[in-house]
Structure 1
Amino acid sequence: MKELLKQVKQYKKDSILAPVYSALEVVMEVIIPFVMALLIDEGVEKGNMNKIQLYGIIMIVLAMISLFAGMMAGKYAASASSGFACNLREAMYRNIQRFSFSNIDKFSTAGLVTRMTTDVTNVQNAYQMIIRIAVRAPLMLISSMVMCFVVNADMSFIFLGAIVFLAAVLVIIMLRAMKIFNVAFTKYDDLNASVQENISGIRVVKSYVREDYENEKFKKASGNLYNMFKKAESTLAFNNPVMMLVIYACIMAICWFGAKFIVVDKTLQIGELTSLFSYVMGSLMSLMMLSMIFVMITMSVASMRRITEVLREQPDLAEPFAPVELMSNGSIDFDNVHFRYHKTSEEEVLTDINLHIKSGETIGIIGGTGCGKTSLVNLISRLYDVQQGSVKVGGVDVKDYDMKFLRDQVSVVLQKNVLFSGTILDNLRWGNENATEEECIEACKWACADEFIERFPDKYNTVIERGGTNVSGGQKQRICIARALLKKPAVLILDDSTSAVDTATDAKIRAAFQKCIPGTTKIIIAQRVSSVQDADRIVVLDDGRINGVGTHDELVANNEIYRDIYESQTKDGGDFDRPRN
């Protein structure tokens, strides 16, 4: 709770004013029945028009104050809760942006989306109820009880007994509902995961005609959520019948005993009986609201816990005490590197990696699927930290660099190319937000992207749809390469980022690199031998270890894995990941 309340920030004033106005509203509502009793007993019963006018004006003034206080309480409660929710989402989003890849691996994408939407909304609703209804309801309950004893102590015991009975029943109902709600909200992750997976992969779903299967999977996730909430709401449905039973029982008891006190004992007046009705109804409704508050808070406890998990998550990669912001060159050194994605995992992804790359060199990396190619280059821009050994860029350990500076100097075109909603120019300027249109065009020429961009009606102002669905895989790759070139990096890493372009275009892009960024260290991960055979050196990875390093000719002659890959692609066109004899 403390972690969440830190996000109230600039809405503290609104959070204080909402309960203050709620309290004022309650005070006015409690006084009105008392004045109404005086109006009836001293005005109507005695035929005194002056008293009727006086108490009538007082009631109108009190009602106006109550109305104003209620409006202001609602206004400030809405402002405080909405602002609180906004701050929560921003705080979560900021922290997520600080996460390393290992942190992100702990949370599913669907889980993070649920936390920032459904869970925050639950907390927002609970907060709004706490600062308004949770003040109003108990204050109204206590005030009404006090006023009942002031009016008639004997009659108040009826009211007190009703409250005890109703409270006991509501507690039983709430405890049963709480257990169900705690489980129900975890089902949202399954539902969101199903939606996200289906929509992002809709082309695959349709191409394999798997709509019915996906519909059934979603129906199952939705059905589980429906069953949980149906069970919880069915339990809560008893609230209203029990409430009405108690209210009508109180009315009958008050009418019965009230008539006796008025007619026989002469100890109660008609106006006082009327005010008792008002106080009893107000207090019982307050008790009902309190029960709903507890249910809402219970529903949001799981949400609070899930939000706090994200807010408290500390990035596994910490900035150094005195970060370096100067890179002398693009040399890269792997010294006895051992790496695993999870610290507790026994199996290493990379083992005993020793590799030294000179500044300006072009290095090819090749190997079978899952051999650790992407994991190796992820260490250069410090997307993960090694468990043993060190990775140095420009002679400095990557752990000693300012991470923003390091990643500006190490430009990566990831294996999974991502374009964002906006124009082509907007996407290109992710590489350099200050790049001129001329610089963007030049980078696109180097990446062989200008040839298709120029054919678009709006050219560089063409709007990219969400996820880049209106461009092909090869076009997307070339835009991403151009975006990386705009950073003018010391190290450029292409992680299988020309797999969707033809070999001729691939060759043009590599030739352009030699002209436009000759001093940049270039690391090319590829599945095709043709993409790396002209590199200064080629690294062959196998099962997380370096199996061989050399030129194309040297490896064809001396390395079995590389030779098998080369022959499978040039002779019989097979899959180079096939098992070797």
Structure 2
Amino acid sequence: MLKLFRFLKPFWLPITFVLVVVFLQALSDLYLPTLMSDIVDTGIVQGDTNYIMKIGGFMLLVAAGGGICAIIGSFMSAKIAVGYGQNLRARVFKHVGNFSLQEFDKVGTASLITRTTNDITQVQTVLVMMMRIMVYAPMMCIGGLIMAINKDAQLTWVLAVVIPILALAIFLVASKGIPLFKAMQVKLDKLNLVLREGLTGIRVIRSFNRVDYEKKRFGEANRDLTDTAIKVNRIMAFLMPVMMLVMNFSTIAIIWFGSNRIDTGHMEVGGLMAFIQYAMQIMFSLIMVSMMFVLIPRASASAVRINEVLDMKPDIKDPERTTRTDGRKGYIEFKDVTFSYPGAEQPALSRISFQAAPGQVTAIIGGTGSGKSTLLNMMPRFYDVESGSIEIDGVDVRELTQSELRSKIGLVPQKAVLFTGTIAENIRYGKEEATDEEVKHAAAIAQATDFISDMKDGYDSFIAQGGSNVSGGQKQRLAIARALVRRPEIYLFDDSFSALDFKTDAKLREALKGETTDSTVLIVAQRVSTVMDADQIIVLEEGKIVGKGTHQELMDTSEVYREIVSSQLSEEEIA
């Protein structure tokens, strides 16, 4: 957890102020028992009412000053912790934004959400406690010992026996609790994963009547987390009764031995009362430290998980020195590209080589699992090649910054993703400064104008999270419009017409021809009708190119392509 404290540097001035305020509060609390002792020994014993009123009034001022310091310290420490949590969440989110898909696959989306929210909250909570208790408690413990010894050194042997017992109890409980707190965070990840899948997949769950199964699955994950939480809280709950028992017995011992010292004239009544209060302050400071030991193990487990994310180096990095592309725009060349997913037995792509030029449409077709989407994902460097190279305008994509590379690309993913906001905002996601005319033009090319105009607020109509209030075909068309408004050098369509009817599909592809005359277009498709008119068709099978050419050339030379065509078109359509 100490590693995360390096992010506290912007708050050093308010932290210093909090420490000063806490120090003053501790001095106030330590001074009060001495004043009370003076009132008893001098004022009450001697019957000096004026002295009692004078010292009593001073006690009120000291107590008020300590209370003000406590309020200011609490407010400032909470403000620092909230600011620290905000900065840390922003840093984690920014760092995660640089991850390649391999890091997302490694950590998991559910775990990243938990680490960015719950884990940082745990650290933030402990930070508040540390600035208050971890500073205040040692001051009270050390100051209390000094003041107790000053009152009566002989009685401090009681504390010498009690303090090690309390310390041992804290150590035993903490050693049992730390592993369970670590397990709790992992089980919280699991619960978050099950909940996320249950909510995002609710339509599938209901359509297959698996609601009861998902309830059972959630119940098991919830019970697992609950059982661990109960177990760890039982261990931690054992600490307080032990503390109170030891504290009460120590009070009895102090009164017993202190009364003997009063009888022998070595101590006064007020001194004994003050000594008891200092002993209570010492033991309460240890109890406060024990409370920290309840929170610190969980926060430590959370800090380790946050550091794992921050220390994770993205596999895909920008080059130190970039190379600028020449005058050509959007010329793509795959040179002997091979790629394997981590842990896969065989490559997803093997020795892929082809060229795609501006003004041309290159279509990629093949069976399920043949590597079509993987090939497209290599272009924006969602994954890096294992061997070979991908070049744009004669420059290896690894020699371009990710921002420069992706500014050249308009991607329409296989699963259309929309964001909460209006239709216009979703289209402008492709180009933030796009004018209303550009937005409407992109929507018209994507064949989205009709359904947008039918909506109540037109382009200002609200899109729910994930686009749940529009159909699959409408989502695809809005995703296509988002790519079109960007007017990039390269268009990547990853099976982006699958949810469209044949008529809309044909109209959209016809409109695209006039829009993409200067751009390179790569289309992944399942339908033969979508790729028949392409300038170049690449046929994939098991990650390898088994055919390349126009529709008619492939009908003559590629058996795999003929099988795909014959499975979708009638003999009359083929002819």
Tell me the TM-score normalized by structure 1.
Answer: 0.96
Given that 1:540 and 1:546 are in contact with CA atoms closer than 8 Å, whether structure 2 keeps it comes out as yes
Given that 1:21 and 1:70 are in contact with CA atoms closer than 8 Å, whether structure 2 keeps it comes out as yes
Separation in structure 2 between the aligned mates of residue 325 and residue 402 of structure 1, nearest angstrom: 10
Separation in structure 2 between the aligned mates of residue 178 and residue 435 of structure 1, nearest angstrom: 53
Unpaired runs of at least 5, structure 2: none
1:255 positional shift: 2.1
Which is worse superposed, 187-196 or 18-27?
Answer: 18-27
SS in 1 for 2:352: strand
Map 1:46-195 to 2 at 5 A: 46-195=46-195
Which is worse superposed, 301-310 or 374-383?
Answer: 374-383
Structure 1 equivalent of residue 518 of structure 2: 519
Please state if 1:483 is matched with 2:482: yes
Given that 1:325 and 1:405 are in contact with CA atoms closer than 8 Å, whether structure 2 keeps it comes out as no
Structure 2 equivalent of residue 341 of structure 1: 341
Given that 2:325 and 2:394 are in contact with CA atoms closer than 8 Å, whether structure 1 keeps it comes out as no
Given that 1:111 and 1:189 are in contact with CA atoms closer than 8 Å, whether structure 2 keeps it comes out as yes
Structure 2 equivalent of residue 209 of structure 1: 209
Structure 2 equivalent of residue 563 of structure 1: 562
AA matched with 2:203: R
SS in 2 for 1:431: coil
Separation in structure 2 between the aligned mates of residue 333 and residue 326 of structure 1, nearest angstrom: 13
Given that 2:358 and 2:517 are in contact with CA atoms closer than 8 Å, whether structure 1 keeps it comes out as no
Separation in structure 2 between the aligned mates of residue 332 and residue 411 of structure 1, nearest angstrom: 14
AA matched with 1:524: I
Deviation string for 1:227-246 (max 9, x for gaps)?
A: 11111111111112111211
Separation in structure 1 between the aligned mates of residue 156 and residue 542 of structure 2, nearest angstrom: 81
Separation in structure 2 between the aligned mates of residue 517 and residue 557 of structure 1, nearest angstrom: 29
Separation in structure 2 between the aligned mates of residue 78 and residue 457 of structure 1, nearest angstrom: 46
Structure 1 equivalent of residue 463 of structure 2: 464
Structure 2 equivalent of residue 405 of structure 1: 404
Q: 1:325 to 1:403 in 2, by over 3 A?
A: farther
How many residue pairs match? The answer is 570
Separation in structure 2 between the aligned mates of residue 404 and residue 325 of structure 1, nearest angstrom: 13
SS in 2 for 1:427: helix
AA matched with 1:42: T
Deviation string for 1:407-465 (max 9, x for gaps)?
A: 11111101111000000000010111011111101110000011110100101000000
Which is worse superposed, 417-426 or 550-559?
Answer: 550-559
1:62 positional shift: 1.1
SS in 1 for 2:547: strand
Separation in structure 2 between the aligned mates of residue 168 and residue 381 of structure 1, nearest angstrom: 58
Given that 2:170 and 2:293 are in contact with CA atoms closer than 8 Å, whether structure 1 keeps it comes out as no
Which is worse superposed, 27-36 or 160-169?
Answer: 160-169
Which is worse superposed, 14-23 or 430-439?
Answer: 14-23
1:251 positional shift: 2.1
1:149 positional shift: 1.1
Structure 2 equivalent of residue 310 of structure 1: 309
Which is worse superposed, 158-167 or 219-228?
Answer: 158-167
1:182 positional shift: 2.0
SS in 2 for 1:454: helix
Which is worse superposed, 323-332 or 417-426?
Answer: 323-332
Structure 1 equivalent of residue 289 of structure 2: 290
Deviation string for 1:357-385 (max 9, x for gaps)?
A: 12211011100111111111112222221
SS in 1 for 2:106: coil
Deviation string for 1:146-170 (max 9, x for gaps)?
A: 1111111122211331222222122
Which is worse superposed, 393-402 or 196-205?
Answer: 393-402
Separation in structure 1 between the aligned mates of residue 401 and residue 157 of structure 2, nearest angstrom: 71
Structure 1 equivalent of residue 364 of structure 2: 365
Separation in structure 2 between the aligned mates of residue 251 and residue 536 of structure 1, nearest angstrom: 92
Given that 2:325 and 2:392 are in contact with CA atoms closer than 8 Å, whether structure 1 keeps it comes out as no
AA matched with 1:476: K
Separation in structure 2 between the aligned mates of residue 55 and residue 136 of structure 1, nearest angstrom: 25
Which is worse superposed, 323-332 or 167-176?
Answer: 323-332
1:504 positional shift: 0.9
Given that 1:349 and 1:375 are in contact with CA atoms closer than 8 Å, whether structure 2 keeps it comes out as yes
Given that 1:325 and 1:402 are in contact with CA atoms closer than 8 Å, whether structure 2 keeps it comes out as no
Given that 2:380 and 2:406 are in contact with CA atoms closer than 8 Å, whether structure 1 keeps it comes out as yes
Separation in structure 1 between the aligned mates of residue 375 and residue 96 of structure 2, nearest angstrom: 24
Given that 1:258 and 1:268 are in contact with CA atoms closer than 8 Å, whether structure 2 keeps it comes out as yes
Separation in structure 2 between the aligned mates of residue 319 and residue 329 of structure 1, nearest angstrom: 21
Separation in structure 2 between the aligned mates of residue 6 and residue 570 of structure 1, nearest angstrom: 64
Separation in structure 2 between the aligned mates of residue 279 and residue 291 of structure 1, nearest angstrom: 18
Structure 2 equivalent of residue 432 of structure 1: 431
Given that 1:331 and 1:360 are in contact with CA atoms closer than 8 Å, whether structure 2 keeps it comes out as no
Separation in structure 2 between the aligned mates of residue 560 and residue 206 of structure 1, nearest angstrom: 42
Which is worse superposed, 84-93 or 381-390?
Answer: 381-390
Unpaired runs of at least 5, structure 1: 573-581
AA matched with 1:200: T
1:386 positional shift: 0.9
Deviation string for 1:524-553 (max 9, x for gaps)?
A: 101111111111111000011100011112
SS in 2 for 1:175: helix
AA matched with 1:230: I
Q: 1:416 to 1:546 in 2, by over 3 A?
A: same
Separation in structure 2 between the aligned mates of residue 47 and residue 240 of structure 1, nearest angstrom: 41
Separation in structure 2 between the aligned mates of residue 325 and residue 478 of structure 1, nearest angstrom: 33
1:46 positional shift: 0.5
Q: 1:154 to 1:31 in 2, by over 3 A?
A: same
Deviation string for 1:269-316 (max 9, x for gaps)?
A: 111111112111111111111112123111111111110111112221
1:3 positional shift: 4.1
Which is worse superposed, 223-232 or 325-334?
Answer: 325-334
AA matched with 1:483: R
Separation in structure 1 between the aligned mates of residue 20 and residue 218 of structure 2, nearest angstrom: 46
SS in 1 for 2:124: helix
Structure 1 equivalent of residue 382 of structure 2: 383
Separation in structure 2 between the aligned mates of residue 272 and residue 127 of structure 1, nearest angstrom: 37
Structure 1 equivalent of residue 353 of structure 2: 354
SS in 2 for 1:348: coil
Given that 2:365 and 2:526 are in contact with CA atoms closer than 8 Å, whether structure 1 keeps it comes out as yes
Separation in structure 2 between the aligned mates of residue 49 and residue 203 of structure 1, nearest angstrom: 80
Separation in structure 2 between the aligned mates of residue 376 and residue 320 of structure 1, nearest angstrom: 22
AA matched with 1:85: G
SS in 1 for 2:46: coil
Separation in structure 1 between the aligned mates of residue 16 and residue 183 of structure 2, nearest angstrom: 33
Please state if 1:35 is matched with 2:35: yes
Separation in structure 2 between the aligned mates of residue 6 and residue 251 of structure 1, nearest angstrom: 42
Please state if 1:14 is matched with 2:14: yes
Structure 1 equivalent of residue 273 of structure 2: 274
Separation in structure 2 between the aligned mates of residue 316 and residue 232 of structure 1, nearest angstrom: 38
Separation in structure 2 between the aligned mates of residue 243 and residue 103 of structure 1, nearest angstrom: 46
Map 1:445-460 to 2 at 5 A: 445-460=444-459
1:2 positional shift: 5.4
SS in 2 for 1:154: coil
Structure 1 equivalent of residue 505 of structure 2: 506
Separation in structure 1 between the aligned mates of residue 169 and residue 515 of structure 2, nearest angstrom: 78
AA matched with 1:11: F
AA matched with 2:36: M
Separation in structure 2 between the aligned mates of residue 48 and residue 325 of structure 1, nearest angstrom: 91
Structure 2 equivalent of residue 444 of structure 1: 443
1:185 positional shift: 1.5
Separation in structure 1 between the aligned mates of residue 508 and residue 227 of structure 2, nearest angstrom: 56
Structure 2 equivalent of residue 578 of structure 1: none
Separation in structure 1 between the aligned mates of residue 3 and residue 242 of structure 2, nearest angstrom: 37
Separation in structure 1 between the aligned mates of residue 562 and residue 508 of structure 2, nearest angstrom: 25
SS in 2 for 1:549: strand
1:10 positional shift: 2.3
Given that 2:325 and 2:393 are in contact with CA atoms closer than 8 Å, whether structure 1 keeps it comes out as no
1:136 positional shift: 0.8
Given that 1:420 and 1:464 are in contact with CA atoms closer than 8 Å, whether structure 2 keeps it comes out as yes
Separation in structure 2 between the aligned mates of residue 144 and residue 6 of structure 1, nearest angstrom: 32
AA matched with 1:44: I
